Amino acid sequence: MEKLLEIKDLYVEYHTLENKVKALNGVNFSVAKGEAMGLVGETGAGKTTTALSILNLLPPRVTFIPKGSVNFDGVEILDKKNEKTVQKLRGDRIAMVFQNPLTALNPVFTIGEQVAMVFRRHRGMDKHQAMDEARKMLELVGIPGNRVVDYPHQFSGGMRQRVGIAAALACDPSLLIADEPTTALDVTIQAQVLELMKKLQESGNTSLIMITHNLGIVNELCEKVAVMYAGRIIEYGKVREVFEHPAHPYTKGLLGSLPDIKKKTSRLTPIPGFMSNPSNLPAGCKFAARCPHCADICLAQDPESRELTDGHTVACHFPNDYGKGGI
């Protein structure tokens, strides 16, 4: 399949007066045209930073990118020479559903104006045409069209999230990045939104990056999954392969934390400890302190990513020891 997005060896740091936060530490993955990929991992793993890098929306005053490449359909996103081109891509060919619907919407404009703005900028519509399209998009995500005149503060968190989804889907993007898009939604609306995204992706016109903590959503929507830890992809492959044969102890820990209706147990099995501090990362494997199979080499040397089977890669010194199990 033809690649739409390719990220190579991406490093991102946030520099503050107190310290240097290493948010991304050599991220590598690609997304083909019409493909859906899930990006999973704990809070603080670097998932949102990865998404903002694709849109080149990282805060400029504190962000430093030592090296790396983000290439979208032949356009190098991080190259300052392509700044105007990237501005045209945002909201048109690349769209994002942001994690926090409260801060994603402008409080001084009506929701109709904010959705219509996408049509006016990228489709050249006049005010009335754009507002008609905005009504249709709101109805598509379960909001009455007559509420285009209302402001964000008049909506609940879930409804604001739906407005953000409507704006993201407005121009039928080539790549949709959804950062926890269903967190604030009730289960019925969540199912409708996921079905909408599934239809959009299955049409073959849209690639999807689904950032979520919900592995069930990844299993339902995505073909590939990338497991992220401490700013790096530590396991990547087809969803079925990774979920049925996890090769990294962290991936196995995530899957082991899920409830299983087929097994009777009094407690779930959490992953012990906490993620490494990104401003003070250890020298070796970043998961070593939490890994029950840690060896001396893990503390001294960060493992390289290796391919186990066709397309299934893992960054672990002893991946074959953990290749059994899963869900």
Domain-by-domain residue ranges, the chain? 3-93+173-322, 102-172
Interatomic CA distance for residues 121 and 55, integer angstroms: 17
Q: Report DSSP letters for 101-137, one per residue.
A: HHHHS-TTS-HHHHHHHHHHHHH---HHHHHHHHHHH
User: Quick check: 315 and 231 in contact, CB under 8 A?
Assistant: no
Question: What gap in Å lies between CA 34 and CA 172, rounded to an integer?
Answer: 12
pLDDT of res. 292: 87
The SS3 call for residue 158 is helix
Domain 3-93+173-322, classified CATH 3.40.50.720, yes or no: no
End-to-end CA distance of the chain: 28
pLDDT of residue 186: 78
For every residue of 48-63, DSSP letters joined together read HHHHHHHHT-S-TTTE
Mean pLDDT of each 10-residue bin along the chain, 327 residues long: 93 92 96 94 94 94 95 96 95 91 89 96 95 94 93 90 90 93 78 80 83 91 95 96 93 85 76 90 93 91 91 89 42
* pLDDT of res. 187: 81
Check residue 300 and give its pLDDT.
93
